[in-house]
Structure 1
């Protein structure tokens, strides 16, 4: 079977019984000089898999037995499965990029054709998967494909689980291979501030100069954006305000807290959100966002806006409006978590949908709590659960607020797309039990790969006209290194990528068979993954 993920929309057999061997040498050839940069990136993506069988540029080995060519060509693609991708272009285009492609497997090799370099690149990543994940020769075939959603992303969280620039480049390669096109970097939180800003150096000043640097220099950040752009991935930085601000407060002690709701001040151990009505605070935040916007080549900057525990509704709304205005004043487009809808929404606003009270899956009775060992181990009580439900109750109306205001929703539901969710112990192989037991947010109900693969974007009742796109998230509270990160990502990220590209849930029976073939691809790239027993790995 065709093992490509996402599953191509259309597949036809070119000649029954014909097969292309994959064990010989391969050459990547750009038929158009405009595709030379694409060819260089495709070669780099293939190197871990083909090794010495990948001929250097300019080499000719077509006469040798078993030699084949990966041809990249600009050509009019056939009508796409979807007329125009749904949602917002992460590159800021008025109309989403044309990513439709046609791929043909013949006795000569694999030909990737599209109307744009981006479409050719998407075809080439399918070819890379066929070369790696297909068992034996590749049957002669023709594939035609295009995405349903224009925005297909992943959030990673170096604020809590630091990732080196090299590790982030490996994440970008993984996104590219699965046709994801946004890397959302959660750069700031209570635990750390990870982007050096020359105009605001105090944020990354380190007391112990013998400790390893755990932030990105401006050179690191520029380099990551360039590397991502070469792979048609857009970097979206997040500066999470007005809450989640302990790292900022440590650099600027003395900033006043936001006005607290009556009876809440001092009752809970939270970091007071920032008060954007305070002139000194606004000046500091303005300098930060202006510098972040200056350093960011993409069109979007994420302003956070989630979980501002300890701020009044009026203070929070003022903060969101100020943050949006500051980003727009620097020529970028703001997006924020869904709570930002409570500050008002316009047609230019994007809100990232992540939670409602039913999605939190909290017990209502002692009997239900007794059946949730993950909550009991975390010290959860019914009283605490009720307090959480009261705090998050406004979230049940955020989607309606966005739609009524004419904005867009970026779909990141905690129930399925939060990949920091533990896996059930019964699907974890024994040799991975120790690692799996410490990975994931402790109070989430454990869910397996099948649960993620069966997520249906339509299940939330949000029409496509209100959807900006799809984005998985992986917050880093439990991430102690790169292997931890990829064990949480894989195989679930591949399932999210399929849904984001096709616009619908996977058919689990055949999807799990295709997933099984991708273990080899991950191993050849040195990526740790969870070998869930839901999948029959070869």
Structure 2
């Protein structure tokens, strides 16, 4: 018997079978939980069993296909204890075919009891079909430990036709605010590629560190890659002191970068480097103080406040600044093969330009009305510089200020407005609005999350639609999640902040927001938690935590409780004891009992605790309610 799944939502339903030809391949609770969910999928009741006797058939003259076979073996070998040879008549076939409907990244996957046929127009499509195959294997395939020899490696029989909605599906990692090693960067790329993401945006320079070797400007990494070690809350740190040794940091040599690029290419991931200018430049100015308008800072920023106090912008009045940028971009363009180079352009403090006689002279000579137009002048020159090197410019939406360079592409982060304006003016855009795509933000109740400054829940990421009304869809390349690292000191925490929100963005950008289904998505997330556990990948379970929304009603404090997930039971106490399923169950907004000092909350599903115990003082609840100033209480978001 076969079942056709007619809608996107139903494509995520459980695969069940009690009539499997091979009784080892399916049980009544067998589940097929793919992220991103395919565009079209038919699921059968039979399955294919992967054994060491299987082999792979492909065109051995195609190096990309051979590389994908090697990748597949690298993924299955640790858990299975075997790899599959490439032979003429294998049970698994990777085949390139002429099917225009699949585009450059689509694939057709047919799994039958006796064989698997994976076809695509381009090798990238084969690679993405392999990701689907790997996700259909039992979760233990993700283990780095060889499993028992009697473990059955079954793949449900399916017929899948799939391709992405958007060509730009990415994640950005900020390696300046905190240093991540080459090996950690490659692990991040590997993890995003497993969910069919194809862009790694590498934020390489900022006020807290210059991370890329530029051979013609050695001080950028000799000096600019290092700062005094600090812990504690960002922006509250003590400045680096005179004579204090700068021991925290690191940088990537150009040989390191080539290794990362080769690793990414094997996973069909584009690497977009970002050199953030003309602001965010403390590390560069410390290395080359002559680039400052007046006085460069004495040390690379450690996370202390400096905006508007210390210079962090390149002097646009000096021609030497453009000579510096030409050296940087010449080496970056030669090193990175992608057509795009990101030049930042965000959050540029212009106060020092206003005081700088050279910048003012430049404005007069170029007939520029204000400092916004001065920044636009700089961006235009960067665009021309990159064009000479065969590259295209990408910048944050601030590059719109003062007039946009003709060939510039905009990455819109301050909401969608910048992207809308740029797209309507004929520029390609990548949407990365903070409320959906900033994965450095809280993903649940702040009191039980690591410190940061605003909210972006899993449901917020999943509700992302990169194409707003009134914008031609072809002008929107796609979107990406951005992981700024001010509050991300370790790679384990980078994983925690990325997953599962990265999975949500992966599905939206591959499958398309019009076909998204939250109630179909989060149960699949639970299955991928199990897979991540097997791989020792960190992730956040914040979707299980209660949402706490205090408000004032006729000047009386009340508290509304909710959850991202339907069917969640919420228990609470006001008597300073720990809540569980024997304490009061939430059913309607709470009034605060007289003299109560604490509210404690926990969530349950299916009779078991799933969320963290949340403990909030009544004073904190009142503070939040006063901040919100709500007269109604329908919105459960905490900001």
State the distance in 2 between where 1:295 and 1:326 align.
16
C-alpha distance 76-517 of structure 1, shift in aligned 2 (>3 A):
farther
In the other structure, the counterpart of 1:262 is none
Structure of greater relative contact order (alpha carbons < 8 Å, 6+ residues apart) = 1
In the other structure, the counterpart of 1:268 is 308
Out of 327, 330, 340, the residue aligned to residue 287 of structure 1 is 327
2:344 maps to 1:304: yes
2:550 maps to 1:520: no
State the distance in 2 between where 1:210 and 1:108 align.
61
Question: RMSD of aligned C-alpha atoms?
Answer: 2.9
Cα offset for 1:19? 2.8
C-alpha distance 258-99 of structure 1, shift in aligned 2 (>3 A):
farther
C-alpha distance 226-136 of structure 1, shift in aligned 2 (>3 A):
closer
C-alpha distance 240-291 of structure 1, shift in aligned 2 (>3 A):
same
In the other structure, the counterpart of 1:245 is 281
2:192 maps to 1:175: yes
In the other structure, the counterpart of 1:317 is 376
C-alpha distance 300-258 of structure 1, shift in aligned 2 (>3 A):
farther
- 1:318 partner SS: helix
- 1:8 partner SS: coil
Cα offset for 1:289? 1.4
Contact 2:420 2:471 in 1 (8 A): no
2:434 maps to 1:414: yes
State the distance in 1 between where 2:435 and 2:174 align.
18
In the other structure, the counterpart of 2:71 is 41
* Number of aligned positions between the proteins: 454
2:142 maps to 1:142: no
Cα offset for 1:210? 9.9
User: TM-score scaled by structure 1?
Assistant: 0.78
Contact 1:148 1:501 in 2 (8 A): yes
In the other structure, the counterpart of 1:365 is none
User: TM-score scaled by structure 2?
Assistant: 0.66
State the distance in 2 between where 1:77 and 1:124 align.
18
Cα offset for 1:162? 1.4
2:430 maps to 1:402: no
Cα offset for 1:405? 2.9
State the distance in 2 between where 1:38 and 1:79 align.
22
C-alpha distance 314-213 of structure 1, shift in aligned 2 (>3 A):
closer
Larger radius of gyration: 2
State the distance in 1 between where 2:55 and 2:259 align.
25
Cα offset for 1:44? 2.1
Out of 105, 113, 119, the residue aligned to residue 113 of structure 1 is 119
Cα offset for 1:501? 0.7
In the other structure, the counterpart of 1:32 is 59
Contact 2:100 2:121 in 1 (8 A): no
2:347 maps to 1:327: no
2:411 maps to 1:352: yes
Deviations 1:344-389 (A, max 9, x none): 3466321001114xx8xxxxxxxxxxxxxxxxxxxxxxxxxxxxxx
Q: More deviation in 509-518 or 523-532?
A: 523-532
**Structure with more of its chain in strand, by fraction:** 2
C-alpha distance 420-160 of structure 1, shift in aligned 2 (>3 A):
same
Cα offset for 1:417? 0.6
C-alpha distance 27-493 of structure 1, shift in aligned 2 (>3 A):
farther
Q: Mark the runs of 5 or more structure 2 residues left unpaired by the alignment.
A: 1-13, 15-31, 141-151, 228-244, 296-305, 354-370, 545-563, 566-604, 611-639
Deviations 1:138-170 (A, max 9, x none): 432100001111111111000112111111111
**Structure with more of its chain in helix, by fraction:** 1
Contact 2:49 2:155 in 1 (8 A): yes
Contact 1:4 1:126 in 2 (8 A): yes
Cα offset for 1:484? 0.3
Deviations 1:212-270 (A, max 9, x none): 761000110011111111111111100000000000000011323399xxxxxx99335
